[in-house]
């Protein structure tokens, strides 16, 4: 049997194989070339894509800022005291405050300023937060970088503004020169013996002749840890004082003494800041005890440079001053907006309540939040609980200025229904009627990313329902603020005016008074406002007590 000749087929197969090999060879070369081109493009694109990666990072940064802008307004719509007067988020458009490469804190502050323009005070025709001292800023609300960003600042916050750093000095400037306005007794300046009224003639060996040149030298001095001041006291004695920057516990009592006038004993106390209750009690209690032992029947409380602080310190101070017969009577009430009162501010679920150690508190086995708090008027009503030896004060004279604000105003207001309260104004500009700052609202901090927001959240009223002093508490009588006299000196025009019903009117009129308009430079951390602490100043819903 003949075999079939397959040579032609084999040849065809061989030719096909050769063609396939050539095609594969060409394909491989083509693929190699393409791979080379792609790799080259990728290599080049790596360089070109660097801006793209940055744009992506910028986009992420932008989104974070936009989220914060949204959060600020969403919280305001629920917790701001006048939230019902704010427009919808769609109309307000928080994102419009974003600016590329701009300071994000500036954007947040601008947003708060803009929404604070909407609630109008019908009595004044201006926004409740209209700020006559700086019309570009809200009068009450603000936002700050989280204090944890700095060690010293963190110490100050965690301690209730009772830790300070620096030299402990504040100044008064006028055409007659620069004088020490006051010193913290625990500060390097206080321990050196410097006091109110000392004239400052040079900083670190350099003299100055006006506020501007002083400010330039002072700014440089604050950046250093060493300070040398040349001073002249009231008796003409010159000194060269050398100070080292240091951390110290704030002593809010600037000066205290008993003034004997015509057989009457009058206690005087200058109080700089409502630090947290524990700190305030530490320094107030011994002073008030000494007044009790001396048998004082009147007080002069100098709050002219006190811009506020913690509400619990106000309550403590008021309980020390109230006569015993008014124990258990109404001190104050807090009034939140309707959303808060009805427990509908659900965003507060995201605000954790922390202890003094910064660890979360737990309630019913879970982390406690600000949404667990009862914001009704009933739950935020405070009664007097009489403490201390001053059981029968008749009259209290408060010395105020345009810088007297918030917690200071609250102390005055809660005592007015029960005591003979007299208000003396001390003015930097002359003898016009003085009004305090005007801040009958309170707040507590709201965390927004790495920031703390403080916006007006509740209004404070006394036992008579009074609390609309948005334009300040008016002084009964006013005089010039003359820092050439130390605190408590009967020649101080403000102290003399408080004592005018006694025997000093004729003496005061013969004294030289510095009447030049002046300005202040404050050198202490601001505890402005009427602040509540998240850990102790709240009542939980449903009378919960198991908090740990």
Residue 200, pLDDT score? 97
421: number of Cβ within 10 Å: 18
- In whole angstroms, what is the distance from residue 540 CA to residue 547 CA? 9
- Mean pLDDT lowest among 51-60, 127-136, 284-293, 394-403: 51-60
CA-to-CA dists, residue 494 to 113, 304, 511, angstroms? 36, 10, 13
Q: Is the pLDDT of residue 526 over 70?
A: no
- Mean pLDDT lowest among 200-214, 435-449, 500-514: 500-514
Instruction: Please write the tens of the pLDDT for every residue from 343-383.
Output: 999 999 999 998 878 899 999 899 999 999 999 999 999 99
> By C-alpha distance, which of 401, 381, 382 is closest to 317?
382
- Mean pLDDT lowest among 18-22, 97-101, 226-230, 286-290: 18-22
Q: Is the pLDDT of residue 538 over 80?
A: no
Instruction: Please write the tens of the pLDDT for every residue from 123-150.
Output: 999 999 999 989 999 999 999 998 543 3
Strands 264-271 and 298-302: parallel
Q: Which one of 3.90.950.10, 3.30.40.230, 3.90.226.10, 3.30.70.600 gives the CATH number of domain 252-516+525-543?
A: 3.90.226.10
The β-bridge partners of 446 are 453
| Angle made by CA atoms 128, 133, 139, in degrees to the nearest 5 | 30
Q: Is the pLDDT of residue 70 over 60?
A: yes
3-state secondary structure of 453: strand
Residue 147, pLDDT score? 57
CA-to-CA dists, residue 62 to 72, 92, 446, angstroms? 15, 19, 22
DSSP H or E stretch at residue 166: strand 163-166
The pair of structure tokens assigned to 383 is 């009664």
Residue 48, pLDDT score? 35
Tell me where in the chain the CATH 3.90.226.10 domain(s) lie: 252-516+525-543
Residue 541, pLDDT score? 81
3-state secondary structure of 79: helix
pTM over cut 0.95? no
Residue 343, pLDDT score? 97
Q: What is the mean pLDDT of residues 37-53?
A: 39
Q: Is the pLDDT of residue 284 over 60?
A: yes
- Region of residue 182 (left: phi > 0; alpha: psi -120 to 50; beta: else): beta
The pLDDT-based confidence of 524 (bands split at 50, 70, 90) is low
Q: What is the mean pLDDT of the chain?
A: 85
Q: What is the mean pLDDT of residues 411-434?
A: 92
Residues counted in the chain: 548
Q: Is the pLDDT of residue 396 over 80?
A: yes
Q: What are φ and ψ of residue 403, in 5° steps?
A: -95, -5
Residue 531, pLDDT score? 67
Highest mean pLDDT: which range of 2-11, 20-29, 453-462: 453-462
Q: Which one of 2.40.10.120, 2.30.42.10, 3.90.1150.10, 3.30.365.10 gives the CATH number of domain 164-248?
A: 2.30.42.10
Q: Is the pLDDT of residue 535 over 50?
A: yes
SS (H, E, C) 178-218: EEEEEECCCCHHHHCCCCCCCEEEEECCEECCCHHHHHHHH
Q: Is the pLDDT of residue 58 over 80?
A: no
- Mean pLDDT lowest among 451-465, 480-494, 534-548: 534-548
Instruction: Judge contact between 232 and 201, C-beta under 8 A.
Output: yes
Q: Is the pLDDT of residue 409 over 50?
A: yes
> By C-alpha distance, which of 431, 438, 422 is closest to 528?
438
End-to-end CA distance of the chain: 105
- In whole angstroms, what is the distance from residue 335 CA to residue 378 CA? 10
The pair of structure tokens assigned to 60 is 């992420």
Residue 515, pLDDT score? 55
Residue 294, pLDDT score? 97
- In whole angstroms, what is the distance from residue 102 CA to residue 113 CA? 17
Q: Is the pLDDT of residue 477 over 50?
A: yes
> By C-alpha distance, which of 417, 458, 443 is closest to 334?
458
Residue 30, pLDDT score? 45
Residue 357, pLDDT score? 84
Q: Is the pLDDT of residue 388 over 90?
A: yes
- In whole angstroms, what is the distance from residue 127 CA to residue 446 CA? 23
Q: What is the mean pLDDT of residues 104-111?
A: 97
- In whole angstroms, what is the distance from residue 24 CA to residue 321 CA? 101
> Alpha helix (H) ranges present in 49-95?
50-79, 89-92
Instruction: Please write the tens of the pLDDT for every residue from 503-516.
Output: 444 344 434 555 56
Is 79 buried (19+), middle (13-18) or exposed (0-12) by CB count in 10 A? buried
Residue 27, pLDDT score? 42
Tell me where in the chain the CATH 2.30.42.10 domain(s) lie: 164-248
């Amino acid at each position: 049997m003949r075999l079939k000749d397959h040579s032609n087929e084999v040849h065809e197969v061989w030719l096909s194989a050769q063609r396939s090999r050539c095609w594969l060879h060409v394909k491989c070369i083509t693929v190699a070339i393409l791979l080379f081109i792609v790799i080259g493009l990728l290599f080049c694109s790596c360089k070109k894509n660097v801006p793209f990666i940055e744009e992506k990072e910028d986009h992420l940064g932008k989104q974070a800022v936009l989220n914060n802008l949204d959060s600020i307004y969403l919280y305001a719509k629920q917790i701001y005291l006048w939230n019902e007067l704010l427009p919808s988020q769609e109309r307000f458009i928080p994102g419009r405050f974003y600016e590329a490469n701009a300071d994000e804190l500036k954007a947040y502050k601008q947003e708060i300023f803009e929404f604070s323009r909407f609630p109008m005070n019908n009595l004044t025709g201006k926004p409740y937060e209209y700020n006559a001292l700086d019309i570009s800023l809200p009068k009450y609300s603000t936002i700050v970088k989280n204090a944890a960003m700095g060690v010293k600042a963190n110490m100050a916050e965690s301690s209730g503004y009772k830790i300070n750093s620096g030299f402990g000095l504040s100044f008064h400037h006028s055409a007659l020169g620069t004088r020490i306005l006051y010193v913290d007794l625990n500060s390097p300046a206080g321990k050196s013996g410097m006091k109110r009224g000392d004239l400052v003639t040079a900083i670190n060996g350099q003299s100055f002749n006006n506020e501007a040149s002083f400010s330039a030298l002072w700014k440089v001095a604050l950046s250093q840890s060493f300070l040398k001041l040349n001073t002249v006291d009231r008796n003409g004695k010159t000194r060269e004082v050398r100070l080292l920057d240091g951390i110290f516990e704030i002593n809010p009592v600037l000066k205290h003494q008993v003034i004997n006038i015509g057989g009457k004993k009058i206690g005087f106390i200058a109080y700089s800041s409502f630090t947290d209750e524990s700190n305030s009690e530490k320094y107030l209690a011994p002073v008030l005890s000494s007044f009790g032992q001396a048998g004082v029947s009147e007080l002069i409380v100098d709050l002219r440079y006190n811009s506020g602080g913690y509400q619990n310190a106000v309550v403590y101070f008021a309980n020390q001053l109230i006569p015993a017969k008014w124990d258990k009577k109404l001190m104050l009430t807090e009034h939140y907006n309707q959303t808060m009162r009805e427990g509908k501010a659900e965003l507060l679920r995201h605000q954790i309540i922390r202890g003094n150690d910064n660890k979360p508190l737990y309630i019913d086995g879970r982390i406690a939040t600000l949404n667990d708090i009862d914001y009704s008027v009933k739950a935020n009503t405070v009664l007097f609980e009489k403490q201390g030896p001053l059981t029968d004060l008749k009259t209290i004279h408060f010395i105020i200025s345009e810088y007297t604000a918030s917690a200071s105003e609250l102390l005055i207001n809660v005592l007015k229904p029960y005591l003979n309260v007299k208000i003396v104004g001390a003015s930097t500009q002359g003898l016009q009627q003085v009004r305090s700052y005007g801040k009958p609202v309170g707040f507590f901090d709201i965390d927004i990313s790495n920031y703390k927001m403080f916006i007006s959240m509740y209004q404070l009223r006394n036992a008579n329902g009074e609390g609309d002093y948005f334009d300040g508490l008016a002084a009964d009588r006013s005089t010039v603020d003359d820092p050439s006299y130390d605190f408590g000196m009967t020649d101080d025009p403000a102290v003399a005016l408080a004592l005018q019903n006694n025997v000093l009117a004729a003496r005061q009129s013969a004294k030289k008074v510095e009447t030049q308009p002046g300005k202040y430079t404050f050198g202490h951390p601001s505890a402005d406002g009427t602040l509540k602490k998240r850990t102790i100043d709240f009542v939980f819903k449903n009378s919960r007590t198991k908090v740990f």
